Amino acid sequence: MKEDTPLSEIYSESLALLDRAERSIPSQTQTFSKGWTQYPRGAAPVFATRADGGYLWDADGRRFIDWPMALGPLLLGHNHPKVNDAVKQQMDGGIAFSLPTTKELELSERLIDWFPYAERVRFGKNGSDATSGAVRAARAVTGRDRILCCGYHGWQDWFIGTTTRSGGVPGAVSDLTTPFPYNDLPHLESLLDRYSGEVATIIMEPMGIVPPAPGYLKGVRDLATKHGAVLIFDECWTGFRIHHQGAYGKFHVSPDLACFGKALGNGVPISTILGRSEIMEVFEEVFFSFTFGGDMLGIAAADAVLTVLENEPVLETVDEVGSALVDGCRELISGYGLDDFLTISGYPARNIFEFTSSDHEARLAKSVLQQEGCARGILSAGWHAPSYAHTIADVSETLGAYDAAFSVMKAGLDADNLSDRLHGETVQPVFRKP
């Protein structure tokens, strides 16, 4: 690609497809966080055609190092051979049946052995299935309605009604869910006191980007027990990334129920709710039932993923690659004197650029960063989900691209003309500030 090639030519096929999509798909994507609003339109790819290992190819035939990895599920990388082989073999034996299958029983037993606190298991397809099923079970077993939540828990009414994407959610539903801040036990305790006897569940991501303060998760566990609330860990992100046993393995705190998705199937849709039998048994009456709850492709993929995790240095590799990426980014940020403007937070398996400026300037700077990265074959939504397929060579190539991007960003900030450095459109947040 020549440096003076117009962006309209570089991304011509993607932009033509976007024009088509505007006539057929609301928001032009099935998932907000994958859509064109998350990248500088006109200076970034819009549609993908294939992927392999740690790479993705766009509709214009350009190859990118893929750091979002489909929003996190691809812990092993695209097209991991053992997962693909398991799925292909299952396709030959059938993918949907009129009875429960022996393999769903076997995977359930394997997960019970995998997680010490798990005594019963149910399967879904998406993380939202699992979190919503767990919340329904908690309400049923406690006879209470109120939910306290911390983190992101999917698209269902009970949670999304608390966000700026609350269109179509009845106010009466939204009013029953109250978000609470992370790492703030006194705030959580005040909510439990305020709604004494009403709280069915505390559902939370045990770790987002910020790690839990010492004793925090144990404190949440104790408060849930004290107030008779079911503690649900939403581990759709942390599951299998921070430890083979998720938050339990990392922090030694047991929830009553836990929800897993994403990495469990390495891109093949599957999720699970697992936990204590006296709560899980309520699913014999509570309706958590759908045609594809026991879909065999997801079950085959999950079984293969667990086998790879048991036998290969997946998390060690992800930690090595992710640490090199984070450390390299921090060194570049400091080298360009951008420490007061930009940081990289999180942990090796999931990390994110954070800007300390106004919302507008932050989105502008993020757009420039993504634009310059895309120009050099790096696909990033401002964050990274390193996989087993990524290599130190990928990190080196990425840091080289970020070196150039930070140079452009620094020059624009110093000259107070950062907007002039952006050749596409400014990215938009999925959740808008009220």
In tens, the pLDDT along 337-365 reads 999 999 999 999 999 999 988 888 999 99
Task: Give the amino acid at 327.
Answer: D
Domain residues for the domain of 16 are 7-78+314-421
Task: Give the amino acid at 61.
Answer: G
The per-residue pLDDT of the chain, averaged, comes to 94
What gap in Å lies between CA 202 and CA 138, rounded to an integer? 9
Residue 3's pLDDT is 55
Are residues 260 and 409 both part of a single domain? no
- Residue 2 clears pLDDT 80, i.e. is over it: no
Residue 51 lies in a domain: yes
Interhelix angle 296-311/81-93, nearest 10 degrees: 150
In the structure, what pLDDT confidence band is assigned to residue 181 with cuts at 50, 70 and 90? very high
Out of 234, 259, 294, a domain closes at 294
Are residues 122 and 161 both part of a single domain? yes
What CATH code is carried by the domain that includes residue 203? 3.40.640.10
Residue 143 lies in a domain: yes
- Residue 434 clears pLDDT 70, i.e. is over it: no
Rounded percentage of the chain residues whose pLDDT exceeds 90: 83
Task: Give the amino acid at 27.
Answer: S
Q: How far is CA 2 from CA 5, 312, 407, in A?
A: 5, 41, 20
Question: Mean pLDDT throughout 204-212?
Answer: 95
In the structure, what pLDDT confidence band is assigned to residue 157 with cuts at 50, 70 and 90? confident
DSSP at 75: T
- Residue 16 clears pLDDT 50, i.e. is over it: yes
Residue 1's pLDDT is 44
The 8 Å CB, 24+ separation contacts for 175-178 are 176/145, 176/146, 176/147, 177/146, 177/147, 177/148, 177/149, 178/146, 178/147, 178/148, 178/149
341 HSE (CA, 13 A, CB side): 19
What CATH code is carried by the domain that includes residue 70? 3.90.1150.10
Are residues 274 and 217 both part of a single domain? yes
Are residues 206 and 116 both part of a single domain? yes
Question: Mean pLDDT throughout 323-335?
Answer: 98
Which tokens hold the place of 128? Answer: 């939202």
- Residue 198 clears pLDDT 60, i.e. is over it: yes
What gap in Å lies between CA 99 and CA 119, rounded to an integer? 23
Question: Mean pLDDT throughout 315-331?
Answer: 98
What gap in Å lies between CA 310 and CA 333, rounded to an integer? 37
Are residues 159 and 202 both part of a single domain? yes
Question: Mean pLDDT throughout 423-429?
Answer: 89
Are residues 101 and 19 both part of a single domain? no
Burial class (CB in 10 A: 0-12, 13-18, 19+), 148: buried
Residue 248 or 34, more confident? 248
Residue 4's pLDDT is 62
- Residue 430 clears pLDDT 90, i.e. is over it: no
Residue 32 or 267, more confident? 267
Question: Mean pLDDT throughout 157-166?
Answer: 85
Task: State pLDDT tens for residues 84-141.
Answer: 999 999 999 999 999 999 999 999 999 999 999 999 999 999 999 999 999 999 999 9
Residue 287 or 38, more confident? 38
Lowest mean pLDDT among 76-85, 221-230, 285-294: 285-294
Are residues 72 and 157 both part of a single domain? no
Are residues 271 and 154 both part of a single domain? yes
Q: How far is CA 177 from CA 86, 156, 162, 167, in A?
A: 40, 12, 7, 16
The number of distinct structural domains making up the chain is 2
Out of 230, 261, 294, a domain closes at 294
Are residues 163 and 17 both part of a single domain? no
Q: Which residues contact 346 (CB under 8 A, 6 or more apart)?
A: 209, 326, 352, 383
Are residues 287 and 326 both part of a single domain? no
Are residues 249 and 341 both part of a single domain? no
Residue 85's pLDDT is 98
* Residue in the block written with tokens 């984070």: 326
Question: Mean pLDDT throughout 187-200?
Answer: 97
- Residue 433 clears pLDDT 60, i.e. is over it: no
- Residue 316 clears pLDDT 80, i.e. is over it: yes
Are residues 322 and 195 both part of a single domain? no
